[in-house]
Amino acid sequence: MVRSNLRYGPNTGHPTTAIPKAVRPSQRKGVQSTKTKFVRSVIREVAGFSAYERRVMELLRNSKVTRRRGN
Q: What is the pLDDT of residues 2-31, one digit of tens each?
A: 777 777 888 888 888 888 999 898 988 888
**pLDDT of the residue at 52:** 92
Q: How many domains does the chain have?
A: 1
Q: Is residue 43 part of a domain?
A: yes
Choose between 40 and 7: higher pLDDT.
40
pTM above 0.85, yes or no: no
Task: Please give the Cα distance from 45 to 35 (Å, whole number).
Answer: 16
**pLDDT of the residue at 1:** 64
Are the C-beta atoms of 54 and 60 separated by less than 8 Å? no
Mean predicted confidence (pLDDT) in 42-66? 89
Task: Please give the Cα distance from 69 to 71 (Å, whole number).
Answer: 6
Q: Is residue 19 part of a domain?
A: no
**pLDDT of the residue at 70:** 63
What is the residue range of 47's domain? 28-62
Q: Is residue 7 part of a domain?
A: no
